[in-house]
Amino acid sequence: MATVPVLSVNNLEVVYDDVVLVLRGLSLDVPDGSIVALLGANGAGKTTLLRAVTGLLVAHRGKITKGTVTVGGDDLTGADPADVVRRGVAQVMEGRRIFAEMSVEDNLRAGGHSRKRAEYREDVTRVYDLFPLLAQRRRGTAGYLSGGEQQMLAIGRALMARPKLLLLDEPSLGLAPRLVEQVRDIVVQINGQGTSVLLVEQNAVMALSIASYGYVLEVGKVVRDGPAAELLDDEDIREFYLGSTPDSGRRSFAEVKSYRRKKRWSA
Amino acid sequence: MTEPLLDVWDLTLRFGGVTALNGVSFTVGRGELFAVIGPNGAGKTSIFNCLNGVYRPQRGTITLAGQRVNGRSPATIAGMGVARTFQNLGLFEQLTLIENLMLGRHHLMRTGMLAGMAWWGRAKREEVDHRAACEEIVELLELEPYRRIPAGLLPYGVAKRAELGRALAMSPTLLLLDEPVAGMNVEETEDMARYLVEVRRELDLAMILVEHDTRLVMDLADRVLALDFGTPIAMGTPEEVQHDPKVVEAYLGGAA
Amino acid sequence: MTTFLTNVFAGLALGSTYALVALGFVVIYKSTGVINFAQGGLLALGAYLGYTFADNLAIAFAVSILLACAAAAIVGASVERLVLRRMVGQPPFAVIMITIGLLFVIEPLITAIWGFDNLPLANPWNIQTVEVGGLVLGVRDLWTIGITAAVVVAFFLFFRYTRMGLAMRATAFDPEAALAQGISARRVYATSWAIAAALAALAGITLAAGPGGLSPSISFIALAAFPAMILGGLDSPAGAVLGGVIIGLAEALTRGYQDQLFSWAGANVSLIVPYLLMIVILLIRPYGLLGTKDVRRI
Amino acid sequence: MTRKIAALALGLTLVLAACGGAGEDDDGGGGSAGAPGNTAGFDGKTIKLGVLTPLSGTVAVIGQPLTAGNEVWFEALNAKGGVAGKYKVELVQEDTQYKTDIAVQKYNKIKSDVVAFTQVLGTAPTLAVLPQLKTDKILAAPASLDALWVREENLLPVGGPYQVQAINAMEYHFTDGGGTTSDRICTMIQDDVYGEAGQQGIDFAAEKYGFTVTNTQKFKVGTENYAGQIGALAGAGCQVVFLVATPSDAAKIWGTAAQARFAPQWFGQSPSYTGALAKSAVAPYMQQSVLIVSEGTEWGDNSVPGMTQMVADATQYASDQEPDYYFAFGYNQARAMTAVLEKAVELGDLSREGILRASNELDTVTFDGLTGDYRYGATEDRNPPRSSTVFKVDPSKPFGLAKVKYNFSSDAAKEFEFKKADL
Amino acid sequence: MSGARGTNRAQGKPHRNLVRSYEQDLRLFGSPMSKVGLGLMLATLLVLPTVVRDDFWLSVLIYSGITAIGAIGLNLLTGYCGQISLGHAFFIGAGAYAAAVVGGDLGLPLPVWLLASAAIGAVLGGLIGPFALRLRGHYLAIVTLGLIFIGEHLWRNLRDVTGGNNGTSVGAEATVGPVDLGALELAGENYSRNQGYFWLVWALVAIIALLAKNLVRTRPGRALRAVRDHDQAAEVIGVRAGRYKIGAFVVSSAIAAMAGALFGSYQQHVSPDDWTLLLSIQYIAIIIVGGLGTIFGAILGAIFVGALPALIDEYSSAIPGVATEAGGDGFISVFALNQAIFGLLIVLFLVFEPRGLAGIWFRVKAYFKAWPFSY
């Protein structure tokens, strides 16, 4: 038996507005010190899973109706977001969500909200070491940073909580390929410093290229999981979640077969 | 190509110090599917916002079928036959799908407040007639099971389709599609591609497609315009643009 | 000249009170997105609590002010805890209506406890005056201006430099992102209500300490502070203070020159001047002097 | 479908006709002399009277003591056997919140349970129920000193209207006060009906005595800052200011005046004052500069029989009642209503018409010095008291007021005509 | 009709409940259940005043009906078009004064003074247009709040029309031709003023509710809701948002003014104290408690807010520790308590049902539709 996983989700069910069932018995583990990729189409429940872990479901009228979430062996099912952060789980939300009106430094201060005052210096130095650019712009207003810089700030802000586990929600979304690569390198670097990472991505190539293990989600359930390399090679996965690779000879979208309906369109 | 449907000349748009569009010119022929690509922040959506009057460009002209477009209000431009879908879903969430489609026909209807109150004569006739027109779109896009569901509760893929439906309900001559397959998996993308192909085949309609999914663009578009930071860097057939070194450099970066 | 300066002084004193109330509105609005119609009720409650401390319990006035602010803060936080917390995520209309409902509850409770009569609040200011350079200034007015200035400075330091202040700014900007940083939204909301109630109490007591004493109608002043809040910009604390002062001055000066300049407009036109001013300014700047534009992207 | 609804409607109309209207249920109106017959609000033993008054909200500060005054009078009366020594009186109180629509609803609620209304508080609520009082032929005693009421058949006012107080105040100023018509006389009035009544009195006096009103300042109830008005009065050099206000505003006004060191001779209309003011920080200023014009005598003045009785009653039936102007008003109101009821019993008819007739045939009612005697009777012959008393502020007195000039009527006040208002 | 839904000719005569054409689909009272419901409601309104002959309850219901009319107007503006207005009381007041002039001073009959006040309301509502175009949300709300105070200033100073502080009597009689609803005589029976006004007011509630319902389910109504949900997106698909914002103000204030005219006509006397902020707040309470964006909710809300205080009033005296008379024993007077209970009920109600009475109503309907398969 290996060490306790840093995050373990068991048979989780989540319901929004008391009606919409979004996760239906989802289980996954993030082993300590690893990068785990979570793939799936829009609406598969990836973001919901992250919310269920961090307690942010409350902000969306969602509720865990079944299952457990444990962090380092402690049960945190349905815990208050502040507690979750204090237990060492930090999240970089989709769309970055930096505090655009505040300065870069104030963003980082907010990120360190759960930490003791005395530790702030040390934490912020660590982040500035990782992102020297943020140190240059520390007094600048965060909203004026470029898209890539904002993503760095969002990650830096999450690191201010000194997390054991970092949850990254679509960090490559809306970034040019060059920036995606930068983000990928940063994630590897962070992981190298001992932080486990759960990486939610649409960009499956990017995610699987750095992850050790991957899960594929479809309508709230894990439909496939395995070592990242194995998933990268799997034909079905390639077809449905990666699209084509240069040599797979996919058919053109212009030629997708269209069956006729009973009635003709008439303008 | 004879006289183009849409003629965009030297479009320049600035916000404060930032230049969102810089001397963008292109034409779109009748029935043509024209695509705009470029990395994030390249100004793709800004073109749309200029085309339908949400933004006022500082310089340049936009002409649709010989009529000047820029300087007019969005509602007027909609009446001229420009329809649009939105990147982040512009459906009216609390209205049902069929009501959203009927709103697409708003500019084709005449019932005013008093006539609507009375539910009499033309008001009633109009509702019935235009409802029939909407039903055809429901059928074309296979939206039958969702008629009475508030748009906010529609699954993502269906909502994207519904938005296309609303744009079609406007009986447009020019259809602007803002990332119609963003966030979709391959299967859903194929579905959407099929609808687009079919709409194109059935209706003599020009389309401008802004899309991140380059494969879809390359497969469907007649011509492609590539932008980088608001400046046009290449225009031509998909193949030409795809192999343009400037495009490879700017858009695909070292990763290509 | 003396008349002018007297009116300016009266305007500043009145404006200070408006500023305190408007600041309370803004604090709650910024963090929770709700205009708190119960603010007037909290103001009256704070003033009556001050009366109980200073008169019934004969505690020194300065201490009574602090106690009343503290007590009002507890009431404010409890209201948030017991009622408004349950409304997180509900339609804003329903939440606004709840604050109106709270006002309907607080006002009769006040009259049930303290009655309807005018009560004299034991205080060291009353109608005393000092003479400064030929101007006769009310001691109460001077204190009101001074206390407001001090509180406003303290407020901005708090917002700028403390952890809680930062947490409140973060929550105001993006509640969910703030939650994700481990900022407890509950504590932020409760703190906003506590601060707003304390500010209201302070405004109430300084008002009641004047010659007029204390009556349930004191809560009306909160309505008069609405234009101050809007004029400055709903989500701008600095705007609330600026708006308060502008409205106070406009009202006092119009009143002071009613006979000479405004007799054509009917009696008491000074009371609607704040609204007229607000309307004119909003037509020029739709988000007030310092408010941020609410940008909806498509 | 349409036809079906039409048929339904027709059917319903028939049902309606069967159910019948709400036409007045005929109640035995009791005829000639002898014991009055049972009627709405009278079961042969107990007479019920309605009270429509704000018992919650900001105006309850007036409604509460006024109603207490009603209660104390009737409890004392009941202890003596009741109306005509045999019919007990019971009050049916309803809260109007000082809103006209609520007043109309509450009026409808209790109108068939009472023989008359012994209190309807406020000008607007009274005007709102007046049309119905006329239709229903019910008598009501309005609790305000508006001159509007004097010529209304369905209303039973008490006391000298505000105009009389204002005129007598000027009379006092020119005689005992040593003033002259060349004084700069000003007014400061609340911007409502009450304020206008006072202003009317001063304007009438100005004509009679030949002075001009130098300056008039209006204010809205509940204003927080009076520096502007006081500045204007001071700027106009006012030597006399007639104030029409309610206590909490009056306190702020006099406080602001004190702060501005503006000290003319103030005359305050009776409701401007309350006992608490004599204990407040403004009291020294008021002692020096303020006179209150009212009716009757000092609280607890044993030389006036009415006062002795009222204080005794208050002590017995409402032990924690503070001396209060509105309490006395309510007490007097109840007394006038009692006079009407006595007359109605004498005529042997406690029905609505009977009570209206009684009020018409009533002669002068005396209030034993609490307020001036009121000559009732047919509306055109009614003559309200023209007398006033001027008080000065004296914190050593129970209500903080000491008589300066007791119960005098000026010729000008006697000449003031009360016209039937076009309501 | 090119019916897309089940023209089951092949199977013979279609089931009578089956929708066969769009016209049927668009019918307001399409299902048998809603027909029965409509019939029952109409029957209740017709019979009620002859059963409940108590003047108190009739007057409570008359005022509730009047506020229901005003609330429908406010709901069109706020619930459907998303424009918050605290100035409703201003338009109601304007309507009442218009009725006083047209119905009272000029002595014209009911249809004339009712429509005249609607016209005045419409014009005044149109004047707010520029603000509606330029301001959003709370900013607009507070500007309309200013309307209350500016209005009050006008009412106190335009003495010729409003009677100043004294107020004015409203002689607008409820007469249509030879019929006087204030003293109705039908088939030899006399009906009281309260009965007559009950029928008048509630018939108007029904008519205005029907008109409003038609408005919101047709082109302009969809446009209003689109503007509410996202005004810029609405513009892009061809809805002139500005025009509809102003239109909503015009229609809503016209309806408000009619409510005011009825208020004046019933009460026969109005004064500036009648049109305070409290009245506006009461209207806001009605549409929120009733449910934003539903016509029926506005009516339910008006009954709730109008009749609840009367109910509390009836039963609160049974609570121990409560003084039922001025100066009586007890910790709190029953009257203050009534106010507090009213506030508390609103708070509790919204905590548990933020979507208002209409939310409950829809849930009940959904339950019966799904019956016996409840979830």
Phi, psi angle pair for D341, to nearest 5°: -65, -40
Q: Cα–Cα distance between B193 and B157 in angstroms, integer?
A: 12
* Start-to-end C-alpha separation, chain D: 49
Give the pLDDT confidence score for residue D366 in this predicted structure.
Answer: 92
pLDDT tens-digit readout, D338-355: 999 999 999 999 999 999
Distances (CA, A) of D94 to D56, D104, E273, E338: 10, 11, 20, 12
pLDDT at E15: 54
Q: Which residues of E touch C239 (CB under 8 A)?
A: none
- The angle at the Cα of A226, spanning A224 to A231, to the nearest 5 degrees, equals 80
Spatial contact of D58 and E278, defined as CB atoms under 8 Å apart: no
From CA E39, how far away is CA E16, in angstroms rounded? 19
Judged by a CB distance cut-off of 8 A, whether residue E2 touches chain B is yes
| The predicted structure's pLDDT at residue E7 | 41
When CB atoms are compared, the residue of C126, C207, C267 closest to D218 is C267
- Which residue type sits at E170? V
Residue D120 pLDDT:
95
Question: CB B173: neighbour CB atoms within 10 A?
Answer: 19
pLDDT above 80: residue A41 = no
Domain that holds residue E310: 57-174+190-369
Residue C256 domain-assigned (yes or no): no
SS3 content of chain A, % helix, strand, coil (to 5): 40, 25, 35
Residue E45 included in any domain: no
- What per-residue confidence (pLDDT) applies to C251? 92
User: In this structure, what are the phi and psi dihedrals at residue E311, rounded to the nearest 5 degrees?
Assistant: -65, -45
Sequence-distant (≥ 6) Cβ neighbours of residue E93 within 8 angstroms: E151, E155, E260, E270, E272, E274, E275
Please state whether at least 3 CB pairs lie below 8 Å between chains A and B.
yes
d(CA B104, CA D212): 72
Which residues on chain B are in Cβ contact (under 8 Å) with E212?
117
Cβ atoms of residues A50 and A36 within 8 Å: no
List of domains in chain A: 7-99+166-233 (3.40.50.300)
Contact at CB, C279 and E146, closer than 8 angstroms: yes
Q: Is residue C274 part of a domain?
A: no
pLDDT at residue E84 is higher than 80: yes
Our CA dihedral for A169, A173, A177, A179, rounded to 10 degrees, sits at -60
Pair C81, C190: CB distance under 8 Å:
yes
The question of ipTM being above 0.95 is answered as no
Residue C295 sits at the chain B interface (C-beta within 8 Å):
no
Q: Whose CA is closest to E305, among E293, E317, E287, E278?
A: E287
pLDDT given at position D325: 87
**CATH for E91:** 1.10.3470
Q: Is C247 left (phi over 0), alpha (psi -120 to 50) or beta?
A: alpha
CA-to-CA distance for C228 and B78, rounded, in angstroms? 40
Neighbouring residues of D102: CB distance < 8 A, sequence distance ≥ 6: D95, D96, E309
Q: Is residue E71 scored above 80 in pLDDT?
A: yes
Please write the tens of the pLDDT for every residue from C183-234: 988 899 999 999 999 999 999 999 998 877 888 888 888 888 989 998 998 8
**Distance (Å) of CA D40 to CA D49, D117, D344:** 11, 13, 14
Alpha carbon distance D351, D355 (integer Å): 6
Query: Closest-CA residue in chain C for E283?
Result: C97
Provide the domain limits for residue C32: 16-245
Domains plus CATH for chain B?
6-252 (3.40.50.300)
Identify all chain B residues contacting C298, using CB atoms and an 8 Å cutoff. Answer: 49, 54, 86, 88, 90
Q: What confidence category does residue A240 fall into, taking pLDDT thresholds of 50, 70 and 90? A: low
Q: Which residues of C touch E139 (CB under 8 A)?
A: 230, 234, 282, 286-288
User: Could you read off the pLDDT of B166-215 as tens digits, one per residue?
Assistant: 999 999 999 999 888 876 766 778 888 888 888 888 887 899 998 877 77
Cβ-Cβ contacts under 8 Å, B179 against chain A: none
Assigned domain for C202 exists = yes
d(CA B157, CA B192): 9
- C17 compared with E11, residue with greater pLDDT: C17
Tokens describing residue C12: 């500043």
E-only strand ranges, chain A: 7-16, 20-30, 35-40, 62-71, 74-75, 89-92, 165-169, 196-201, 213-218, 221-227
Domains of chain D (ranges; CATH) run: 46-160+301-385 (3.40.50.2300), 162-294+389-415 (3.40.50.2300)
C138 belongs to a structural domain: yes
Residue A189 CA to residue A156 CA, distance in Å, equals 12
Residue E237 lies in a domain: yes
Is B215 close to A202, i.e. CB distance below 8 A?
Answer: no
Q: By a Cβ cutoff of 8 Å, what residues of chain C touch chain A?
A: 88-89, 163, 166-167, 169-170, 173-185, 292
CB proximity A265 to B under 8 Å: yes
Tens of pLDDT along D38-63?
888 899 899 999 999 998 877 888 89
Q: For residue E231, what is the nearest residue in chain B, using CA coordinates?
A: B92
Shortest distance, CA C183 to any CA of chain A (angstroms): 6
Helix pair angle (E193-217, E295-315), 10° resolution: 150
Determine the average pLDDT of the residues in C143-157: 94
The mean-pLDDT minimum among A258-267, C16-25, E280-289 falls in A258-267
Q: Establish if C121 belongs to a structural domain.
A: yes
**pTM (two decimals):** 0.87
What is the distance between the alpha carbons of residues D282 and C211, in angstroms, rounded to a whole number? Answer: 7
Q: Are D145 and D196 in contact (CB under 8 A)?
A: no
Instruction: Kindly determine whether residue C298 and residue E232, on different chains, have CB atoms separated by under 8 Å.
Output: yes
Q: Does residue E220 lie within any of the structural domains?
A: yes
Show the tokens assigned to D412.
């000008």
Residue E6 vs residue E370, higher pLDDT? E370
Q: In a 10 Å sphere around its CB, with 0-12 CB exposed, 13-18 middle and 19+ buried, how is residue D327 labelled?
A: buried
Average pLDDT over residues D277-303: 91
Burial state string for D81-111 with b = 16 or more CB within 10 A and e = fewer than 16:
ebbbeebbbebbbbbbbbbbbbbbbbbbbbb
Mean pLDDT of chain C: 89
Please say whether the beta carbons of B151 and B85 come within 8 A. no
Residue D215, SS3 per DSSP: strand
For residue E178, whether the previous peptide bond is cis, meaning omega lies within 30 degrees of 0, is no
Q: Supply the mean pLDDT for chain E.
A: 85
Residue E4 pLDDT greater than 50, yes or no = no
Q: Is residue C267 part of a domain?
A: no
Q: Is E95 inside a domain boundary?
A: yes
State the total domains in chain C: 1
User: Is residue B80's pLDDT more than 80?
Assistant: yes
Mutate to test the interface with E, among C275, C277, C287, C293 (most CBs of E within 10 A): C275
The answer to whether residue C251 is domain-embedded is no
- Is E116 contained in some domain? yes
Structural domains of chain E, count: 1
Distance CA E220, CA A100 (A): 38
3-state secondary structure of B255: helix
Residue E139 and residue C233: Cα distance in Å, rounded?
Answer: 9
Chain B CB contacts of A253 under 8 Å are 189-190, 193, 197, 215-216, 219-220
Least confident of C51-65, C66-80, D141-155, D392-406: D141-155
3 state SS of C286: coil
Categorise residue B230: left if φ over 0, alpha if ψ from -120 to 50, beta otherwise: left
Weakest-pLDDT range from A40-44, B46-50, D236-240, E157-161: A40-44
C217 touches chain E (CB under 8 A): no
Q: From the candidates E218, E225, E250, E294, which should be mutated to test the interface with B, based on the most B CB atoms within 10 A?
A: E218
CA distances to C238, C266, D77 from C292, in Å: 12, 36, 68
Distances (CA, A) of C207 to C6, C51, C203, D224: 18, 12, 6, 8
Q: With 60 as the cut, is the pLDDT of residue E357 above it?
A: yes
Please tell me the distance from the alpha carbon of residue B191 to that of residue E204, in angstroms, as a whole number.
Answer: 52
E278 lies in some domain = yes
Distances from the Cα of C194 to the Cαs of C74, C191, C197, E150, in angstroms? 6, 5, 5, 33
Identify the residue whose tokens are 């750095």: A210
Task: Determine the residue among E162, E166, E281, E334 to mutate to test chain D binding: the one whose Cβ has the most chain D Cβ atoms within 10 Å.
Answer: E166
The pLDDT score that the predictor gives to residue E6 is 40
The CA–CA distances, whole Å, from A87 to A35, A162, A166, A190, E286 equal 19, 10, 12, 18, 46
Instruction: Find out whether D91 and C146 touch, Cβ atoms under 8 Å.
Output: no
Q: Rounded to an integer, what distance in angstroms lies between the CA atom of residue C246 and that of residue B63?
A: 49
Q: Which residue of C has its CA nearest to A101?
A: C173
For residue B249, pLDDT over 80 is answered with: no
Rounded to an integer, the average pLDDT of B67-84 is 92
Nearest CA in chain C to D189: C267
Residue C290 is assigned to a structural domain of this protein: no
Chain B contact probe: residue of E219, E244, E258 with most B CBs at under 10 A: E219
Find residues 200-239 of chain D whose CB sits inside 8 Å of chain C. Answer: 215, 217-225, 227-229, 231-232, 235-236
CB E245 within 8 A of CB E132: yes
